Each structure stands twice: as C-alpha cells, then as structure tokens.
Amino acid sequence: MQSLEEVKQIVIDTLGLRERGAALGADSPLLGALPELDSMAVINLITALEEHYGFSIADDEISADVFETLGSLSAFVGRKLG
C-alpha cells in the first residue's frame, strides 16, 4: 500500500482540512463523511493525486469504493503505482 501518511497529507491539503485532518486514519470514512469532499473536491483530489504521483486515473476507475475510506484511497494509489 502507498504511504498512508502521504495520501493523507494530499487529502488534507486538497480539502483544506488543516488540523481537522490530523485525526484521519486508515479506517476514516471520506465520501459522505467529510462535507468538504463534494463532487468538485473529488475532481480536485484526483487531479492532485495524478500530479503528485505522475499517473492518470481513467473515468471508469473512479468509484465510491475508492473514496470510501482513507485506507481504500491509499490502496488505490498503491495499485496505480504497483
């Protein structure tokens, strides 16, 4: 799995969570639990991940499962880099 802390920091920075983001862990729910993570924020987060890691995410790879928890998002990034 890609570094959870690295993905966490990208989520915090992209969503502007600041100190609220410090409490995020692998099991922390994202989609539906963070009001900042709306449809536009998902696009911004995808773009931030693509730019940071240098990969592309196809539309058909984007699902609610990927954004369910911080851990699932980190695992997705790990698969993309794998």
Q: What is the pLDDT of residue 1?
A: 45
Q: At 69, is the pLDDT very low, low, confident or very high (cuts 50, 70, 90)?
A: very high
**Tokens coding 81:** 């880099």
CATH 1.10.1200.10 fits 4-81, yes or no: yes
Q: From CA 5, how far away is CA 39, in angstroms rounded?
A: 23
Which tens digits make up the pLDDT trace of 21-63?
999 999 999 999 999 999 999 999 999 999 999 999 999 999 9
Q: Is the pTM of this model over 0.85?
A: yes
Return the closest-CA partner of residue 73 out of 35, 30, 43: 30
Q: At 9, is the pLDDT very low, low, confident or very high (cuts 50, 70, 90)?
A: very high
Q: What is the pLDDT of residue 2?
A: 53
